Amino acid sequence: MSESSLSPFDAVVLMSFGGPEGPDDVVPFLKNVTAGRGIPEERLKEVGEHYYMFDGVSPINEQNIALLQQLESELERRGIATPILWGNRNWDPFLTDVIRDHRERTGATKYLAITTSAYSSYSSCRQYREDFGATVETLKGEGIDVTINKVRQYYNHPGFVNAQVQIMRHALVDFEAKVGELDPQKHRILYVTHSIPTTMQAASEVATAGYADQHLQLMNAIDQQLDDSLPHELVFCSRSGPPQVPWLEPDVNDRMEKLASQGITGVIVAPIGFVSDHMEVKFDLDVEAAETAERVGLDYVRAATVGTNPAFVMGLVDLLEEKAAQVRGEEPEQPTLTPEGPVDGCTLAQSGQCCKGRTDKPVMP
C-alpha cells in the first residue's frame, strides 16, 4: 500500500481513556472521570484504593504507548507515511491538546481515529464520538478548524477475532498444564467484559446487535476455530454506581462461587471486553477474581488481552484503510467473522440512532 491509502486524512489518532501516573494523580484523574456527577472527594479516595495498590499508576498509558509503536511499525511496513498520534479522554495527553499542537505544527486538518474499545455502547462508542465533537468545537472556538472521523467498532473484524483465538489456544494449553486434562464436566471458560447499566444495554440494541450480543458473537466465532474447547459463558466485572440501578449480570465472582457449588473445579477467565491489561483487568481479575477462585477452590487461569498481538495491530490498520476508502467514496471489502457483518454503528450514530445511553448530545460525523 502507498501513502495514499489513508487519503484524504492527514493523521491518525489513537484515542483512549487515560489513567493516573502516580499517587498524586489518582484523585484528580477520578475527578475528570466523574465530572458533573457531584461525587465527594472522600468517595473518590475510596475508589482510588485500587490504583494505590499499584502505586497510583494505571498500566493503560504504558500499554497505549506500546500499541502506538506497533501501529507505527505496521504503517511503515505498508509504506504508509501518515503520522499517528495518541490522545486521552481523562488524563494527559488530552485529545484536544494533542490535536491542537499537531494542527499548529503541521497544518493538518483531517484526522482519522481508532479507539481502544471494540464494542457498541454509550461508554464504549458514542461517548468517544462526543469527545471528538467536543474537541472539534473547542478548537473551532479558538479559530482552528479540524475534522475527526473514526473507524467502526471492530468486535467482529478478523484481526480482533484471530488475536482472541490465538490467545485462547495459549490459555487452554496453560490450563491443561495446570489441571492435567481438560474436562468439559469440570471446567469452564468465563469470557469477561465490563458490565454496563441495563438501560445502556437496551440503547445499544437500537440500530445493531447490542453490546452483550456482540460479545456472544465473538465468543461463538472463537469457539468455531478452537480444536479443543470447553463450555463457555459471558460474565461481567467492574460494576459501579448505586446498587438500586440494574447492571448486566452475572458478576464474575458470583458466577465462580455458583460454579464451584455445582462441582466445577477450574475456570479460564478470558477478558475479551478489554484491549489491554489496564486496571479493570489487573485489579478485578488478577486480584479480586483470583482471590475468589482460591477461596472457593477453583483452578484459575487468566487469558491474555489482545494488547499488541500482531493480528490485532494489522486489523486496526486494515480498518484505517477501510474507513479512508469509504470517505473517498469507494466501496472496500469489509471482512467479518461473525453473522451480523460489519454494521457501521458509527455511521448510524450520526442520526442519533446508535448507543445513545445517557445523552442526546450531537456528535461528530
Binding residues: 58, 128, 194, 280
Torsion angle of alpha carbons 23, 278, 198, 46, nearest 10°? -20
List, edge to edge, every strand of the sheet that includes 266-270: 232-237, 187-194, 266-270, 299-302
Query: Residues with Cβ < 8 Å from 183, sequence gap 6 or more?
Result: none
**What end-to-end distance do the CA atoms of the chain give, in Å?**
26
Query: What cell numbers appear for 55 in the block?
Result: 502505586
| Among the listed residues 296, 305, 244, 216, the one whose alpha carbon sits nearest the alpha carbon of residue 269 | 305
Binding-site positions for Fe(2+) read 194, 280
Beta bridge partners of 11: 111
Interaxial angle between packed helices 158-179 and 211-225, expressed in degrees from 0 to 180 and rounded to the nearest 10: 60
Largest CA distance in the chain: 65
C-alpha distances (whole Å) from 18 to each of 21, 26, 83, 200, 269 are 10, 11, 21, 22, 25
* Cα gap 218→147, rounded to integer Å: 32
* Cα gap 299→231, rounded to integer Å: 16
Positions of E strands within the chain: 11-16, 84-88, 110-115, 147-150, 187-194, 232-237, 266-270, 299-302
| Among the listed residues 7, 98, 74, the one whose alpha carbon sits nearest the alpha carbon of residue 315 | 74
* Cα gap 192→42, rounded to integer Å: 30
Binding-site positions for Fe-coproporphyrin III read 58, 128
